[in-house]
Amino acid sequence: MDEESVRKQLTCIGEDPNREGLKKTPERFVKAWAYINSGYSMDPKEVVNDALYEAEDSNMVIVKDIDFFSTCEHHLLPFFGKIHIGYIPNKKIIGLSKLPRIVEVYSRRLQVQERMCSEIADAIMEILKPQGVAVVAEGIHTCMVVRGVEKVNSKTISSAMRGSFLEKSDTRREFLSLIK
């Protein structure tokens, strides 16, 4: 997106892109849009780097309430919320800060929440090779809040389960009870 395109959009909605409050808006928008969609330039393997460590056991690890911000690919409107990630180590654990960084890789793209969960789970499975991964996202979609059905209090919950979280109901149940 370039500044001229933003000026055209402002004109299309009946605004004057040269009025005082909008003069620098195209420049600000282009910078903001690049940041909001910065996940395309990130590689989850590079984000994790070498932050993999020997696991002393195979107890479940959970990082919950990871804030995320994304953009709905259908309406180009924001959606945001919390992501909860659990995994069961298989010889390796990951630096805890790396899980939110993996979330950033996939949330900072044009997305649907369901695919975002799957991409995060698949990346963790590929990089860490754990016994299993669980990802649950709770999102508020502004495309449902400010337009369409206008349901302010609605939340969308999606999940992606891999390995032992998919195969073992007790493991899945334990994870879900711990993230409540």
Q: What value does the mean pLDDT take over residues 4-19?
A: 97
Respond yes or no: is residue 141 known to be catalytic. yes
Q: What is the pLDDT of residue 148?
A: 81
Q: What is the pLDDT of residues 45-95, one digit of tens each?
A: 999 999 999 999 999 999 999 999 999 999 999 999 999 999 999 999 999
- Report d(CA 118, CA 27) in Å as an integer: 34
Structure tokens at 13: 């909605």
Catalytic residue among 4, 27, 74, 114: 74
Q: What is the pLDDT of residues 135-150, one digit of tens each?
A: 999 999 998 888 888 8
Respond yes or no: is residue 84 known to be catalytic. no
- Report d(CA 69, CA 104) in Å as an integer: 8
Catalytic residue among 84, 111, 113, 117: 113
Domain ranges of the chain: 3-36, 45-178
pTM of the model: 0.94
Respond yes or no: is residue 72 known to be catalytic. yes
Respond yes or no: is residue 73 known to be catalytic. yes
Catalytic residue among 3, 9, 15, 143: 143
Taking residue 16's Cβ as centre, other Cβ atoms within 10 Å add up to 12
Domain made up of 45-178: CATH architecture: 2-Layer Sandwich (3.30)
Respond yes or no: is residue 12 known to be catalytic. no
